[in-house]
């Protein structure tokens, strides 16, 4: 059962690398934001899986909760900043 | 009892990571920003919820499952709201939604 979690964690790192293409290539700023948001939500799950592998799930659940809140607030703030096209001056 | 737990955990976590893979491919391949936000807000959230459910089944009834439930509910609410805020900001920033070449409405 433990090797299953290790295999899933490795598979998840591969899944996390895929949106990097959109972060680099993204034509508009919002595509990059979307890629970064996608990576953020996926690392949340990776944190939980690693927490289980390290045996100390209680600590990692708090880290994952704080990380998901920060990720959510961060994407809200950046979205609000970019909504007014002040970058056109 | 633990055999059923293990099998259920494996099924849930494999399904969750499959949906996250679909979400990642969707972010890369879809043509326009608004179609890409479909991928991140929907299939990613489903993938995360399935994986967290799998971990909860594996943990059984204890404090960890309660905390995992809190993360489950928060992600279920926060992810779509974040994607909605991004899409609204993109629309007010002036990004036109993508239409198919024959002008068929594609939303």
List the domain boundaries for chain A. 2-83
Side-chain-facing half-sphere of B104: CA atoms under 13 Å: 3
Does pTM surpass 0.95? no
Whether B24 has its CB under 8 Å from any CB of chain A: the answer is yes
ipTM confidence score: 0.84
More confident residue, B67 or B104: B67
More confident residue, B105 or B68: B68
Per-position b or e across A5-16, b if 16+ CB within 10 A of its CB: beebbebbeebb
The residue among B72, B17, B62, B67 whose CA lies nearest residue A5 is B17
Task: With respect to residue B106, please indicate whether it lies within any of the assigned structural domains.
Answer: no
Task: With respect to residue B67, please indicate whether it lies within any of the assigned structural domains.
Answer: yes
- Give Cα A51 to chain centroid, integer Å: 16
Task: With respect to residue B41, please indicate whether it lies within any of the assigned structural domains.
Answer: yes
- Please write the tens of the pLDDT for every residue from B19-42: 999 999 988 888 888 888 888 888
A30 has pLDDT over 90? no
Is A29 in contact with A53 (CB distance < 8 Å)?
A: no
Task: With respect to residue B53, please indicate whether it lies within any of the assigned structural domains.
Answer: yes
Task: With respect to residue B101, please indicate whether it lies within any of the assigned structural domains.
Answer: no
Task: With respect to residue B84, please indicate whether it lies within any of the assigned structural domains.
Answer: yes
Q: By three-state DSSP, how is residue A6 classified?
A: helix
The residue among B28, B39, B83 whose CA lies nearest residue A24 is B28
A84 has pLDDT over 90? no
Averaged pLDDT, A59-69: 92
Chain A neighbors of B53, CB-CB under 8 A: none
pLDDT averaged over every residue in chain A: 87
Q: How confident is the model at residue A2 (pLDDT cuts 50, 70, 90)?
A: confident
* A51 Cβ contact partners less than 8 Å away, ≥ 6 residues apart: A57, A59, A60, A61, A63, A64
Chain A neighbors of B88, CB-CB under 8 A: 79, 83
Residue B47's pLDDT is what? 92
Task: With respect to residue B100, please indicate whether it lies within any of the assigned structural domains.
Answer: no
Task: With respect to residue B61, please indicate whether it lies within any of the assigned structural domains.
Answer: yes
Chain A neighbors of B5, CB-CB under 8 A: none
What total of structural domains would you count in chain B? 1
Asked if B93 lies within 8 A of A42 by C-beta distance, the reply is no
Mark out chain A residues that contact chain B at CB-CB < 8 A.
1, 4, 8, 11-12, 15-16, 18-19, 21-22, 28, 30-31, 33-35, 37-38, 41-42, 44-45, 48-49, 52, 57-58, 61-62, 64-65, 68-69, 71-72, 75-76, 79-80, 82-85
Residue of A36, A45, A88 for testing the chain B interface, max B β-carbons within 10 Å: A45
Helices B2-29 & A2-17, crossing angle to 10 degrees? 10
Identify the domain containing residue B74 by its residue range.
Answer: 3-93
């Amino acid at each position: 059962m433990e090797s299953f979690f290790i295999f899933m964690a490795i598979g998840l790192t591969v899944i996390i690398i895929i949106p990097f293409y959109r972060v680099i290539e993204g034509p508009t700023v919002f595509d990059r934001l979307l890629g970064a948001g996608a990576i953020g939500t996926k690392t949340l799950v990776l944190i939980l899986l690693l927490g289980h592998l390290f045996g100390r799930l209680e600590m990692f659940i708090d880290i994952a909760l704080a990380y998901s809140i920060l990720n959510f607030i961060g994407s809200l703030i950046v979205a609000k900043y970019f909504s007014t096209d002040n970058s056109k001056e | 009892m633990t055999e059923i737990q293990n099998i259920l955990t494996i099924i849930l976590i494999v399904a969750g990571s499959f949906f996250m893979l679909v979400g990642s491919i969707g972010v890369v391949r879809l043509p326009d920003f608004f179609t890409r936000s479909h991928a991140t807000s929907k299939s990613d959230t489903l993938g995360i919820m399935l994986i967290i459910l799998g971990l909860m089944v594996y943990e059984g009834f204890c404090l960890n499952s309660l905390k995992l439930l809190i993360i489950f509910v928060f992600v279920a609410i926060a992810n779509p709201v974040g994607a909605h805020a991004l899409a609204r900001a993109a629309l007010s920033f002036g990004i036109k939604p993508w239409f198919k070449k024959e002008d068929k409405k594609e939303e």
